[in-house]
Amino acid sequence: MTDSGKEYLQVCRKALRTLDEGAEMLATQREQPSGLIKVACPITMTTLILTPLLNELLGRYPQLRLQIESYTPAADQEFREDIDVVFKVRTPRDSVRRMRVYPSTRRGLFASAQYIETFGAPLRPEDLLKHTCIGSGPWQLSRGNTIVNPNIQSQIILNDPSVLLELILKDRGIALLPLYMGRWPETTSKLVQVLPRWTTQPVTLCALFSGHSRLTPKVHVLLDFLAEYIGTARDPRLRGVDAKGLFAHPRE
C-alpha cells in the first residue's frame, strides 16, 4: 500500500468511528430523550389530554421539558418556526410542516334534558332551524346516502367543546359535542342526544411538525407516547367510559 493509500485508510477509519459514535449517541437519545419541546395545541386538548398525561410522560422521560402554548383553534392558522409540534383538530389544507394523524373523534348533537322537556326534540334536521343552536361552522348531517346541511344561525358562536358543554347544561340550546362528553358519568343523565340516527362529521386530531426525513428523538417519543392513548381505551377523555363507537381511525 502506498503512503497516500495508508493515509486515506486512516482517514476512512476515523470517519467510520465518528459515524459509529454518532449512531450510539442517537440511540442513547432515543432511549432517554432530553431537552425542551415547544407544543401548541387547542385549549381542550391541553385540559383533557395533555394535563392528565403529564405525570406519566415525564415519569417515563424525566429529562424532557414541555412548553405548552394553548390556543383557540383557527382554520388556517400558522405558527412560529420555533414551535416543535402543533396539534390541530382539523387537517390543514396547506402547511409546510409534516403531519401525523391520530384517531378522529365522533360527535353528535346534544341538549339538556330540561331544554328538551321545555322545547321538545327536533325530529328532522330542518327542525333545528326552530331551535336555539350554539357553536361554530356549518353542521353537516348524514343518514345513509342522504346528506343535509341545515342553515344554522347560532345564537352563540364559539368552538370550545368544554364551554359548549357548560352552556348546554345551563339549558342554553343545542350544540355539537364529542360523543364521549355525552357519556361521562356526570353528564349522561343530564344530556339528551338530538337526532341520534343522523351522524355528523368527526374531528381529526393531527400533529404538525418540522424537520427532515427523520424526527428528532424528543418529538418522536412525544408523538408515540400520545398514540398509546389517543383514540384508545386508555384515552383520558373517556373518564372510564367504554371507547366503542367514540373514535374513528384514520383509514375508517
Residues 4, 78, single domain; the answer is: no
How far apart CA 155 and CA 250 sit, in angstroms, is 33
Q: Report if pTM > 0.75.
A: yes
Residues 101, 210, single domain; the answer is: yes
Other CB atoms within a 10 A radius of the CB of residue 150 amount to 17
Residues 174, 229, single domain; the answer is: no
- Mean pLDDT of the chain, nearest integer: 87
Residues 58, 87, single domain; the answer is: yes
Residues 127, 189, single domain; the answer is: yes
Beta bridge partners of 206: 88, 101
How far apart CA 171 and CA 164 sit, in angstroms, is 11
Structural domain total, the chain: 3
Confidence tier at 99 by pLDDT (50, 70, 90): confident
| 64-81 pLDDT per residue, tens | 999 999 988 754 566 677
Residues 124, 99, single domain; the answer is: no
The pLDDT of residue 134: 97
Q: SS3 of 116, please?
A: helix
| 169-181 pLDDT per residue, tens | 999 999 999 999 9
CATH number at residue 128: 3.40.190.290
- Span 121-137, average pLDDT: 95
The pLDDT of residue 3: 75
Task: Select the more confidently predicted residue: 252 or 41.
Answer: 41
Confidence tier at 12 by pLDDT (50, 70, 90): confident
Residues 123, 195, single domain; the answer is: yes
Residues 212, 232, single domain; the answer is: yes
Residues 118, 189, single domain; the answer is: yes
Residues 3, 27, single domain; the answer is: yes
Residues 41, 94, single domain; the answer is: yes
CATH number at residue 89: 3.40.190.10
The pLDDT of residue 62: 96
| 30-64 pLDDT per residue, tens | 568 999 999 999 999 999 999 999 999 999 999 99
Other CB atoms within a 10 A radius of the CB of residue 218 amount to 21
Residues 130, 9, single domain; the answer is: no
Q: Which domain holds residue 153?
A: 107-200
Confidence tier at 10 by pLDDT (50, 70, 90): confident
